[in-house]
Structure 1
Amino acid sequence: MKARRLVAYIAGAVATAAVAYFVWPGLIGGPREQVPAKKADGKAQLAGAAPVRAATVIEGDMPVILTAPGTVEPLANVAVKTRVDGQIVEVRFKEGDLVNEGDILFKLDDRLVKAQIAQAEANIAKDQASLKVAESILSRRETLARQKIVSEEAAETAKQTVEGLRAAIAAGQALLESQKTQLDYLTIRAPITGRTGSLNAKIGATVRSADALALVTINQTRPITVSFAIPQAELAALRRALAASATADVAVPGGTRPTVVKGTITFVDNQVDRTTGTITAKVVADNADEVLWPGQSVAVRLTVEIKPRMLSVPAPAVLPAQQGMIAWVIGPDNKVAPRTVTVERIVDQTAFLSAGLNVGERVVTDGQIRLSPGATVTIEEPRRGPSPATEERRMNGRG
């Protein structure tokens, strides 16, 4: 009985010692011996070291870029209406056609106006013939009046007749010009170069100058305008961009890759919208291929300026923390420590810094969740090619 108790006591003591040796140092955070382990590819690494990916701090130019959603607007928009009443006898375009300024769009029935013009011209010719006779009579009477052969009243009557005919001719010419203008209005031309919209009046329709509905609307699409709004905090940068005629990339969503059209900033509004705290600006693009279309939603990317000699790291290297933004810095001994950094701007997955790091230092870009101050890390090579999950989907015909 005593022998059994002794064996049990010894076994318990051994178990307690084993737990104290293997478990207790981990609980109190004390050092443990790092035993080299073999990776699958045969390279040695320290057991317990966290695998991470890293990048080196570099120096370069930082583009100051403003991005915002935008809306495409025609540079000009004209609702074509008739100036005179009449019946449409000819339409010289199709809906959606690109027309040039001065092109004939509609012709109205002009027969009545042409007849009135012919009548006016005949009346003027008649009055001009009468004027010649009256002027001849006036000349003779003035001569006879000086010779006391006819009375002064007769000469005055002849003079009044001449003046009356001259006034009639002037009135007739004014009427003729008015009728010619009416005739010109019966031919409706494109006021701008642009693309036509829906046709609201067909051949045979009677149109009136008082009609509210336009015959057709023309949008100028080459060049074209993109309107967008920027937070008021960026007003100073926006004004610098306007002064420098800065270029902008207008991205049109769709397909596997968005189509990008180049433009130039041409306008910044003269006041901030108090309801949204934003200010409106506009970019004009040549749009020679008409990639941009009125009403379209696009993404505007405006390069305001370039700041030289800025420190940069991949954006995933910078993380939010209680004390601000931090980066995990890898020391020469492969031990890491968090360091507070000042982020100036993040552009295209690159974080540009104004303080906190030095050129050539290494920072962790992936695997920070496993780190603690003073921890040892091993740096893994960047992943190349598709991930195992992606490769599996490809082999199974699922993407």
Structure 2
Amino acid sequence: MGTRKLWGAGIAIMLAATGYAWHSGIISVSSKTVAAANAQAIRPVPVTTVIVQENAFPISHTGMGTVQAYNTVTVKVRVDGEIQKIAFQEGQAVEIGDLLAVIDPRPYQALLQQAEADRARDEALLANAKLDLERYSSLVVKEFATHQSVDTQKALVAQYQAAIAHDEAVIDNARVQLGYTTIVSPLKGLTGVRLVDQGNIVHATDSVGIVVIAQMTPISVVFTLPQQHLPEVLEASRRGPLTVSAYDQDDQTKLSEGQLSLIDNQIDQATGTMRLKATFENRDGALWPGQFISSRLVVGSRRGPVIPESAVQSGPNGSYVFVVRQDSTVEVRPIQISASRNGQALIAGGISSGESVVTDGQYRLRPGSRVVATTGGQTTSRRTASTPQARE
């Protein structure tokens, strides 16, 4: 019985010692965790910042558009015959008057020669009729010929003169038809796919031409904007020519820049949009007929604080930014965005020029967090680089 009491007392002492050690360990671990968390909270957060600057920000409207050739011609034949020669390569750049194709000219040369022969015959008959008229005129004075014979001869001379005029018209027509056997380019541009091969018989009534030529310089873009922008566009157009920039479908890559050339005279009632047309020089060939692009029409500019869009954060109460204060801590500042474009945002209120805003590293920030800005491998308390200009 005494032995059992001794064993029980020993077990109780061991359990008490173990519990104390375990409890002390928890306290020790918890203290270390809290200390580490406090140290983490005190450690500055690395961020990237920019200084807000006041710049002129272009105000523009964007609409999807389609590139159209300034002029497009389907080259068709105007006479019947066999194509003896195709003188162009598909996709070739051609100038006005460049040879494209030749149709067998021999039938039309024969018609021209026949018309010239008819004229020569009628000219000979006219010369003889004039001589007879002179004879009859001299004989009527001596009463060896009647006045009726003189009048008849005058009519014959007039008849041959009319026949020669008819022959001249036939010759001109024959020359025109012969000229149609040589097909030349009516404009400067690029040829497309060849529609007829050499050796084929073609007719003037064929609906299919030989090739389509598209004028590439200049070139046009037709795009649409919502009708509510019409008053603003009309007002801006009265102040002078409006600039239109063509961007790729990603709305990031600028392809070319031109001028607005047309505001259509009616609104599309089905879509509630207005159609506009812009002209681009396109000297580098960046625009291609049929290409879908994003068209950006600049209607004016507005000055105000401009910041990168990467600095703008969204919350349940709207947009906000982290502003870096003089003591290198941040505060949350609600803002109002007036316009945005190409990664830049024009701010209508909430911040002013000269303040520093965070553009990268916001996910680790809380109001009052201490920050340190890193620029080019160097660590500074605040970044002094200026906001980049809004690009077209």
TM-score, normalised to structure 1, is 0.75
The match for 1:118 among 113, 133, 146 is 113
Following superposition, the deviation at residue 294 of structure 1 comes to 1.8
The match for 1:81 among 76, 84, 96 is 76
Answering whether residue 213 of structure 2 is matched by residue 218 of structure 1, we say: yes
One-letter code aligned to 2:91: G
Mean Cα displacement is larger for which, 160-169 or 283-292?
A: 283-292
Partner of 1:66: 61
Distance 1:92 1:347, change over 3 A: same
Answering whether residue 225 of structure 2 is matched by residue 235 of structure 1, we say: no
Partner of 1:27: none
Distance 1:362 1:97, change over 3 A: closer
Following superposition, the deviation at residue 369 of structure 1 comes to 5.8
The runs of 5 or more residues in structure 1 that have no matched partner are 23-32, 40-44, 386-399
Name the Cα RMSD after superposition: 3.7
For 1:348 and 1:200, how far apart are their aligned partners in 2? 43
Following superposition, the deviation at residue 144 of structure 1 comes to 2.5
User: Is the 1:327–1:339 Cα contact (8 Å) retained in structure 2?
Assistant: yes
- SS state at 2:198 partner: coil
One-letter code aligned to 2:222: S
- SS state at 2:267 partner: coil
Partner of 2:288: 293
For 1:368 and 1:96, how far apart are their aligned partners in 2? 53
Partner of 2:240: 244
- SS state at 1:96 partner: coil
User: Is the 1:65–1:304 Cα contact (8 Å) retained in structure 2?
Assistant: yes
For 1:57 and 1:289, how far apart are their aligned partners in 2? 37
Name the % identity: 32
Following superposition, the deviation at residue 275 of structure 1 comes to 3.2
User: Is the 2:46–2:374 Cα contact (8 Å) retained in structure 1?
Assistant: no
Distance 1:251 1:335, change over 3 A: closer
- SS state at 1:124 partner: helix
Distance 1:241 1:353, change over 3 A: farther
Answering whether residue 351 of structure 2 is matched by residue 357 of structure 1, we say: yes
Partner of 1:379: 371
Partner of 1:46: 42
For 1:364 and 1:168, how far apart are their aligned partners in 2? 94
- Alpha-carbon displacement from aligned partner over 1:53-79 (angstroms, at most 9, x marks no partner): 544332122122334443322111111
User: Is the 1:242–1:266 Cα contact (8 Å) retained in structure 2?
Assistant: no
Following superposition, the deviation at residue 87 of structure 1 comes to 1.4
Distance 1:228 1:215, change over 3 A: same
Answering whether residue 301 of structure 2 is matched by residue 306 of structure 1, we say: yes
Following superposition, the deviation at residue 322 of structure 1 comes to 4.9
One-letter code aligned to 1:79: T
- SS state at 2:265 partner: coil
Answering whether residue 93 of structure 2 is matched by residue 98 of structure 1, we say: yes
TM-score, normalised to structure 2, is 0.76
Aligned residues: 353
User: Is the 1:63–1:306 Cα contact (8 Å) retained in structure 2?
Assistant: yes
Mean Cα displacement is larger for which, 187-196 or 312-321?
A: 312-321
**Which stretches of structure 1, 4 residues or more, deviate above 6 A after TM superposition?**
none
Partner of 2:122: 127
The runs of 5 or more residues in structure 2 that have no matched partner are 1-8, 378-392
Within 5 Å, which residues of 2 pair with 1:188-207? 188-207=183-202
User: Is the 1:52–1:377 Cα contact (8 Å) retained in structure 2?
Assistant: no
